[in-house]
């Protein structure tokens, strides 16, 4: 890559990182190019697609933040406390970092690095849930699909109240954690959890909601 192209690529990465974290991964590419001070065509010439730019800019950051949350959750001696920490931390990331909120949704299947991160995050979440269930801290009928659906709805809530009640999501998390405790769980759900395909479809729709 020529020196001028390298400079433009760095400008675009920096602009994309700022705008993705400010507004999420759906920000128009023209705005990224405008903030970088280059043409829209230059962006396409250097990166080709939104997904390629996302993988360049967001994947590493998302992997670090979600990985740290899971690793810390699994380090708790009390599995139930680690489970609660993980849910609260991911919900906090969704509320404070729109880019990470979009990553959790798994909305960009063509972004290969990002989808690999989503897969690792889901595997870690399953381990955190199962560990808490084995310890008797979380009701046994709660699944990873249930948690992913909650994260999808939390992302919508966090976005909707960002300017008026930015901590409203914490109340919903508190209700969720109380409801999942084996001490308070009394009525099992009347329907089965969503299948992986249903979950994929639902998360895509949630991520595309205004």
Does 46 have pLDDT greater than 80? yes
pLDDT at 1: 56
Q: Does residue 66 surpass a pLDDT of 90?
A: yes
In this prediction, residues 187-196 reach a mean pLDDT of 65
Q: What is the mean pLDDT of residues 13-28?
A: 92
Q: Give the dihedral sign, CA 157/162/163/169.
A: positive
Q: Average per-residue pLDDT in the chain? A: 87
Per-residue confidence (pLDDT) for residue 190, from 0 to 100: 57
* Six token digits for residue 206: 């949630």
SS3 205: helix
- Tell me what the mean pLDDT of segment 94-106 comes to: 86
Percentage with pLDDT > 70 across the chain = 88
What mean pLDDT comes out for the span 27-50? 93
Q: List the one residue out of 112, 198, 116, 103 whose CA is nearest residue 155.
A: 103
């Amino acid at each position: 890559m020529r020196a001028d192209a390298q400079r433009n690529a760095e400008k675009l990465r920096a602009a994309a990182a700022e705008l993705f974290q400010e507004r999420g991964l759906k920000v128009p590419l023209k705005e990224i190019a405008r903030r970088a001070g280059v043409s829209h065509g230059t962006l396409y010439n250097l990166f080709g697609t939104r997904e390629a730019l996302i993988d360049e800019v967001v994947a590493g950051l998302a992997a670090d933040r979600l990985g740290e949350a899971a690793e810390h959750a699994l380090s708790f001696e009390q599995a139930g406390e680690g489970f609660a920490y993980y849910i609260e931390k991911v919900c906090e990331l969704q509320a404070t970092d729109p880019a990470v909120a979009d990553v959790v949704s798994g909305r960009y299947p063509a972004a290969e690095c990002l989808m690999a991160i989503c897969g690792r995050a889901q595997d870690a979440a399953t381990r955190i849930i199962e560990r808490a269930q084995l310890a008797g801290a979380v009701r046994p009928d709660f699944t990873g699909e249930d948690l992913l659906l909650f994260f999808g709805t939390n992302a919508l809530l966090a976005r909707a109240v960002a300017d008026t009640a930015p901590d409203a999501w914490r109340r919903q998390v508190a209700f969720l954690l109380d409801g999942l405790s084996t001490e308070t769980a009394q009525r099992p759900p009347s329907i089965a959890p969503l299948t992986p395909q249903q979950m994929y479809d639902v998360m895509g729709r949630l991520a595309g909601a205004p």
